[in-house]
Amino acid sequence: MNAIYTTPPRPFDITALFPRLAPLARTATRLHPRPGAPTLHDSSVGGPLLWPADEPWPHCDEPHDIHASQTVHSPDDVRLLRRDLAAAEERLRLDPEAPEVTPEERENWERIKVGRPWFDGPVPLLPVAQLYARDIPFPCPPDADLLQVLWCPFDHAERAHPTTALFWRSSATVTDVLDAPPEPPVIQAQWYLPEPCLFSPEQVTEYPNPSEMPKELRAQLEDMSRWASVGPALYSKYAYDPGELYLNNLCHAPGWKTGGWTCWGLSDPVDRPCPECGTDEVPLLTIASSEWDGGSGTWVAEEEPTNPAASPPGARDGNFTLIDIAGGYNLQLHACPTDPSHPHIELIQ
C-alpha cells in the first residue's frame, strides 16, 4: 500500500442542520491513488494482475469508434513519452539552464508523433485496477476476495469511453501466474493507459445527491434560512446557492473510491436494475479523472499541501493515474448487491 492520506473533517456537521440526512449516510472508501511500483500482490491502478497462467486473456471483439485521421500509439510509445517528459522536468528542476530537450528525446518524440498503423482485430484488454478485499472494503461474491478491472482502450459505438470487464477470483487459488499478458498493439488515447499507482484507502461518509432525496428533505435543503447558522467564511462563497456548498463539500467525495452514493451531474438519476436479476445496482468502483477540482478543495488530503506526491507530467487536480474519462468526468461502475458477479452497469457522470 501507499503512504497515508487523510481527508480533512467536513466544514461542519450537515446532519445537525438536516437531521433527516443522518439515516441516509453511506460509507465510501477513498482510494487516493499515488504513483508507485505495484506488484501483482498489491491493490493498484495500472499494475500487474494476479492472473492465472491457464486462463485466456480477455479481448474485445466489438467495433471501435475511431476516425481514419486519428493518430494511435502503442502502450510502449506512451510509456516512453511519459518517461522522457518526467526526465526533462527533473533535469530542468535541478538545472534551469539545462536543455529543454535532448537529441534522444527529440528523436523519440518525432517518431512517436507519427503514430502507429491501425490494428484491425481483437484487442487485448488493458489492466485498469486490482482490488484485494483485505485492503479495501467492497462487495464480493462469497468465493472471491479479489476484483480485477480491465478495459478496451478505445471508444465504442454510443459509448465515448472504454468498455470495462470485471473479473472476480479467489487469490488463494492462483498459484501459477501469467508472466507476460498480451497488450493492445495500439490504444486510442494516451489517457486510456493508466499510470501505475498504489492505493491509500480511507473511509469517509457520503450523503445522496438532492435528486435522490425524499421530496420533503430536498425542500429543506433548498430553504435558504436553514443555512443561516453556517460560518460566514464558508457560507459567503455559496450564499447565492447553498446547494452548491452541499454538492461540493458535503455530499460526495471526489476521486477514485469504492461504495458511497452515485454521483449525478450529467443526468438526472436513472434506474440501474441488474441485467440478470433486476435488483437495483449500487456503486462499486468510481474511476475518476481527478482527485479534486476547483470547487472541491476541502476534500484535498491534509498531507497533500505539506508533502505533495510526485505528480506525473501532465497531471492536474491530483490526476495521478493520468486517466481521463470523456474530458474530465468519472466512470462509475455499479454492481448487484445480491450477487456482485452479475453483469455490472457503467455510468458516466
pLDDT in tens, 302-330: 998 776 667 787 777 789 999 999 889 99
Cβ contacts of 67 within 8 Å, gap of 6 or more: none
Residues 317, 238: Cα–Cα separation, whole Å = 22
The pLDDT of 65-90, averaged and rounded, is 89
Residues 102, 253: Cα–Cα separation, whole Å = 41
Nearest to 26 by CA among 161, 157, 179, 138: 138
The pLDDT of 226-234, averaged and rounded, is 77
Is the pLDDT at 295 greater than 80? The verdict is: no
The whole-number pLDDT of residue 38 equals 97
Residues 257, 332: Cα–Cα separation, whole Å = 9
The whole-number pLDDT of residue 234 equals 67
Cβ contacts of 210 within 8 Å, gap of 6 or more: 218, 221, 222, 243, 246, 247
Lowest mean pLDDT segment, chosen from 12-16, 156-160, 319-323 = 156-160
What integer best gives the mean pLDDT of the chain?
91
Query: Which residue is it, cell 486490482?
Result: 130
**Any alpha helices (H) in the chain, and if so which ranges?**
14-17, 75-94, 103-114, 215-221, 232-235, 242-246, 303-306
DSSP state string for 257-275: EEES----SSS-----B-T
Residues 99, 148: Cα–Cα separation, whole Å = 42
The whole-number pLDDT of residue 161 equals 86
pLDDT class for 245, splitting at 50, 70, 90? confident
The whole-number pLDDT of residue 66 equals 72
pLDDT class for 173, splitting at 50, 70, 90? very high
Is the pLDDT at 7 greater than 70? The verdict is: yes
Q: Is residue 48 within 8 Å of residue 39, measured between CB atoms?
A: yes
Cα angle value 66/290/310 (rounded, 5°) = 110
Pairing of strands 126-132, 44-45: antiparallel
The whole-number pLDDT of residue 239 equals 63
Bigger pLDDT: 327 vs 278: 278
Positive or negative torsion for Cα 139, 141, 146, 148: negative
> For the chain, how far is it from start to end, CA to CA, in angstroms?
28
Lowest mean pLDDT segment, chosen from 26-35, 120-129, 289-298, 337-346 = 289-298
Q: Which helix (H) or strand (E) holds 129?
A: strand 126-132
Q: Is residue 343 within 8 Å of residue 274, measured between CB atoms?
A: yes
Helix (H, G, I), strand (E, B) or coil at 19: helix
The pLDDT of 159-166, averaged and rounded, is 90
Is the pLDDT at 194 greater than 80? The verdict is: yes
Is the pLDDT at 237 greater than 70? The verdict is: no
Is the pLDDT at 93 greater than 70? The verdict is: yes
Residues 294, 164: Cα–Cα separation, whole Å = 29
The whole-number pLDDT of residue 68 equals 63
Phi/psi class of residue 104: alpha, beta or left (left: φ > 0; alpha: ψ in -120 to 50)? alpha
The pLDDT of 89-116, averaged and rounded, is 94
Bigger pLDDT: 113 vs 233: 113
The pair phi, psi for residue 160, each rounded to 5°, is -85, 50
Is the pLDDT at 98 greater than 80? The verdict is: yes
pLDDT class for 236, splitting at 50, 70, 90? low
- pLDDT, one tens digit per residue, over 18-74 is 999 999 999 999 999 999 999 999 999 999 999 999 999 999 998 887 766 688 999
Q: Which helix (H) or strand (E) holds 56?
A: none
pLDDT class for 235, splitting at 50, 70, 90? low
Cβ contacts of 214 within 8 Å, gap of 6 or more: 20
The whole-number pLDDT of residue 263 equals 93
Is the pLDDT at 153 greater than 70? The verdict is: yes
The 10 Å Cβ neighbour count of residue 77 is: 21
